[in-house]
Amino acid sequence: MKTQTEHINRRSFLKRIWAWLGAIAVFEFAVMAFSMLSPGGRKRKRGASSFVTVGYANEIVPGSVIPYKSGQFYLVRYQDGGFIALSLICTHLGCSIGWNSSEDQFICPCHASSFDKFGNVLNPPATRALDTYKVFIEEGLVKVDTSRKIRRTGFQNSDLVYT
Amino acid sequence: MEINREKPSESNKRARNLVLHIHPVLVRKESIRFNLTFGLGGMLAVLFLLQVFTGVLLRFTYVASPDKAYDSILTIQNDIFFGQLIRNMHNWSGILFVLIAFLHLLRTFYTGAFYDKRRWNWIIGVSLMVLVIFQNFTGYLLPWDQLAYWAITVSTSILQYVPVVGERLMEFIRGGENVNASTLLIFYNFHTAILPLTIVILMVFHFWRVRKAGGVVVAEKSSPDMVPSDPDLVLKELVTALVLIAFILVLSMFFNAPLQDRADPAFSPNPAKAPWYFMGVQELLLHFHPFFSAILIPFLFVGGLIWLPFLHFKEKQQGVWFYTRKGEKLVLIAAVVALITIPAGILLSEFVIDVERMLPGIPLIISSGLIPFTAVFVLFALLLYVVRKKMAPGNNEMILFIMSFLMAAYFIFSLTGIFFRGTGMQLMWPWNI
Ligand code: FES
């Protein structure tokens, strides 16, 4: 009688080991599959920042809004000379906004959100100000780092970059 | 139906044998009445096969990369013999697939085919419905034209409103910040491998569970007569399949699948619309904060569908459309009430009520989310209260009413989005768009 229970115990022990090994294998496959799901995405994001050189700071007139569609941003220079690079992607659902100079605002064609020159929401459905990119000024040249978008809730003076 | 039953030939026998893999030898006469099921489930199986067939053909030419995808579609259309026709068929049967799957879901609901033995099959069915939508959705991106690019951009952007993990989830699905080469590859892989495989597996399970439940749902009081499935059922199935295929062929001969300009990430077309089956959600997005319209409400709805067979029902009316006389009346009332209140609500929220303006300074999630959502919810509860008082429905009739109302509402939202929204998503008449 005793040997029999031992026997069963050994068997159930082995069974349990099998089950665990199986679970671990499944987990490994799941992790593998998961990392395969994002082709190159993760790595590229962490990689070196990519700069777009816009031009000489003193050649950009204060008050101008210049689209850089290839870099996915608008470079804006305010009357006081400060620079900001606004992402052209609407924060509502991702359409690309257009600059309307007569109304002095950015307007999204998709659901008609509008944003002021600083990227603040003027009209919903958008709920958040436009994202920005970092602006550098090196030896008089304006450069924009397009590798990373910066989220924000609204405009602050510190967003502006001066020469 | 009188069919001459001569001695079957050898090949005929073999075909019969094959049929018995799917059908029992005898079926209830009542269960093959066409207007009980309208053959919708069978149509879906045919559509699936058609999709696999045309899809595999398209794969021979299609290239899933942003700089080649669009050109490969042009090659299919212009340089390949019957290429345009195959693409059209894939397009139209894809649309019909979603549509008929939805009708099939409605049929099972309205004939009460979700109790007891059919409970799990109802859930498999709801899962299949979701998979079919995603099957279509992932295919939507592949042509890489303006329509595809912006529809997917707008729809995947919704994910960013999921609390906490939203932004990450969106980037994970897109394989990057924006819709890009990785997105195309991911969608392509889901469209041509993962989703169809999952659908096949669930489909087999779905069929098997129908047989386990004793075939298609029939009314308890219906006649117990049995007929041989071959030829009585098989013939009906064949005719339905052939008519469906003919219909798709004709459609594909006269109407081309849409193809707009090559995708341009810097320029959104105006208006940029989501795929048609998400149009109702898109319409809701114009009235409520995205978290409520695109996440909470759809989530509650699908959750409700899954929960449905686990509710406690006092009486289970099966196999009869709309359950009872009163049920029929309630469905009609629901449709009429929705037809009046929903357009009125859309107009009100578009032109009159502007909670954000009335309560400036309050976070948008409250002013354009919580407040209007609660208001609508209270109104709906009031409606249900009135119905309960006036009609005294049983609880399955009540569910019938709720479901019918929501369906009608979604239908009207979709129509508004598809036909009445023009430039800048302004409300306008269809002929002015
Ligand atoms: S995407 Fe810009 S308003 Fe909706």
pLDDT in tens, B172-217: 888 877 888 888 998 999 999 999 999 999 999 998 888 887 777 7
Order the strands of the A132-138 sheet from edge to edge: A51-56, A141-150, A132-138, A83-87, A73-77, A65-68
Are B318 and B369 members of one domain? yes
Residue A44 lies in a domain: no
CATH number at residue B262: 1.20.810.10
User: Which pTM was predicted?
Assistant: 0.84
Are A93 and A139 members of one domain? yes
Amino acid identity at B280: G
Are A106 and A61 members of one domain? yes
CB spacing of A149 vs B177 below 8 angstroms:
yes
pLDDT at B359: 67
Q: Region B41-60: what's the mean pLDDT?
A: 91
Residue B124 lies in a domain: yes
A44: closest CA of chain B, how far (Å): 9
- B397's enclosing H/E stretch is helix B395-419
CB B128 within 8 A of CB B199: yes
pLDDT at B54: 93
Final residue in a domain of this structure, among B238, B269, B300: B269
pLDDT at B1: 47
More confident residue, A13 or A145: A13
Residue A43 lies in a domain: no
What gap in Å lies between CA A22 and CA B49, rounded to an integer? 35
Q: Region B241-260: what's the mean pLDDT?
A: 90
Average pLDDT, chain B: 83
The helix/strand/coil state of B111 is: coil
pLDDT in tens, B7-28: 667 777 777 777 777 777 777 7
Supply the range of the domain harboring residue A34. 1-38
Q: Which residue is associated with the tokens 């290239």? A: B63
Q: Region A80-106: what's the mean pLDDT?
A: 81
pLDDT at A46: 47
Are B362 and B253 members of one domain? no
Are A135 and A57 members of one domain? yes
Tell me, in angstroms, the distance from the centre of ligand 1 to residue B224's CA.
58
pLDDT at B356: 65
Amino acid identity at A74: Y
Residues of A in contact with B360 (CB under 8 A): none
Residue A46 lies in a domain: no
Concatenate the DSSP letters of all residues of B188-257 into one string: HHIIIIIHHHHHHHHHHHHHHHHHHTTSS---TTS---EEEIIIIIHHHHHHHHHHHHHHHHHHHHHSPP
Residue A122 lies in a domain: yes
Closest by CA position to B171, among listed A41, A129, A35, A94 = A41
Q: Which residue is associated with the tokens 């709309």? A: B322
B299: closest CA of chain A, how far (Å): 19
Tell me, in angstroms, the distance from the centre of ligand 1 to residue A127's CA.
10
pLDDT in tens, A59-86: 777 777 777 766 678 888 877 777 888 8
Q: What are phi and psi of A102, to 5 degrees?
A: -70, -30
Residue A94 lies in a domain: yes
Query: Is the pLDDT reported for residue B398 higher than 70?
Result: yes
pLDDT at B201: 94
pLDDT at B143: 92
What gap in Å lies between CA B152 and CA B91, rounded to an integer? 17
CATH number at residue A80: 2.102.10.10
CB B92 within 8 A of CB B257: yes
Are A72 and A115 members of one domain? yes
Are A55 and A25 members of one domain? no
Are A12 and A59 members of one domain? no
Residue B71 lies in a domain: yes
What gap in Å lies between CA B282 and CA B150, rounded to an integer? 13
Burial B385-410 (b: 16+ CB within 10 A, else e): eebeeeeebbebbbbbbbbbbbbbbb
pLDDT at A114: 83
Are A63 and A101 members of one domain? yes
Query: Is the pLDDT reported for residue B158 higher than 80?
Result: yes
Residue B4 lies in a domain: no
- Categorize the per-residue pLDDT at A47 as very low, low, confident or very high, splitting at 50, 70 and 90: very low
pLDDT at B355: 67
CB spacing of B175 vs A149 below 8 angstroms:
no
Tell me, in angstroms, the distance from the centre of ligand 1 to residue A50's CA.
27
Nearest to B272 among A41, A109, A127 (CB): A109
Residues contacting residue B293 through CB under 8 Å, at least 6 positions apart: B281, B284, B285, B287
Query: Is the pLDDT reported for residue B266 higher than 50?
Result: yes
Residue A33 lies in a domain: yes
The helix/strand/coil state of A51 is: strand
Minimum mean pLDDT range among B41-45, B127-131, B358-362, B401-405: B358-362
pLDDT at A69: 67
CB-ligand 1 contact for A75 (6 Å cutoff): no
pLDDT at A3: 57
CB B73 within 8 A of CB B148: no
Residue B259 lies in a domain: yes
Are B283 and B406 members of one domain? yes
Q: Which residue is associated with the tokens 């394989």? A: B175
Are B31 and B178 members of one domain? yes
Minimum mean pLDDT range among B94-98, B190-194, B294-298: B294-298
Domains: count for chain A: 2
pLDDT at A20: 93
B97: closest CA of chain A, how far (Å): 27
CA distances from B22 to A104, A150, B234 (A): 67, 57, 10
Are B149 and B238 members of one domain? yes
Are B147 and B173 members of one domain? yes
A99: closest CA of chain B, how far (Å): 12
Are A85 and A151 members of one domain? yes
CB spacing of B175 vs A94 below 8 angstroms:
no
Query: Is the pLDDT reported for residue A42 higher than 60?
Result: no
- Looking at this predicted complex, what is its ipTM? 0.74
Q: Which of A86, A89, A95 to mutate to test the pocket of ligand 1 (most atoms within 8 A of CB)?
A: A95
CB spacing of B178 vs A149 below 8 angstroms:
no
CB-ligand 1 contact for A95 (6 Å cutoff): yes
CB-ligand 1 contact for A122 (6 Å cutoff): no
Are A69 and A137 members of one domain? yes
Nearest to A96 among B157, B268, B365 (CB): B268
pLDDT in tens, B133-154: 999 999 999 999 888 898 898 8
Domains: count for chain B: 2
CB spacing of A95 vs B153 below 8 angstroms:
yes
Tell me, in angstroms, the distance from the centre of ligand 1 to residue B407's CA.
26
Structure tokens, B53: 């067939």
Strand A83-87 relative to strand A73-77: parallel, antiparallel, unpaired?
A: antiparallel
CB spacing of B172 vs A96 below 8 angstroms:
no
Query: Is the pLDDT reported for residue A41 higher than 60?
Result: no
Structure tokens, B134: 């995603």
Query: Is the pLDDT reported for residue B232 higher than 80?
Result: no
pLDDT at B238: 85
Q: What percent of chain B has pLDDT over 70?
A: 95
Supply the range of the domain harboring residue B419. 275-433
Tell me, in angstroms, the distance from the centre of ligand 1 to residue A121's CA.
11
Contacting A residues, span 50-109, partner chain B, CB-CB under 8 Å: 69-70, 72, 88-89, 92-96, 108-109
Residue nearest to atom 3 of ligand 1 (CA): A111
A127 in contact with B at a CB cutoff of 8 Å? yes
CA Rg value for chain A: 27
Are B341 and B395 members of one domain? yes
Tell me, in angstroms, the distance from the centre of ligand 1 to residue A89's CA.
9
pLDDT in tens, B313-331: 777 777 777 777 777 788 8
Are B85 and B208 members of one domain? yes
Structure tokens, A61: 């007139």
What gap in Å lies between CA A86 and CA A76, rounded to an integer? 7
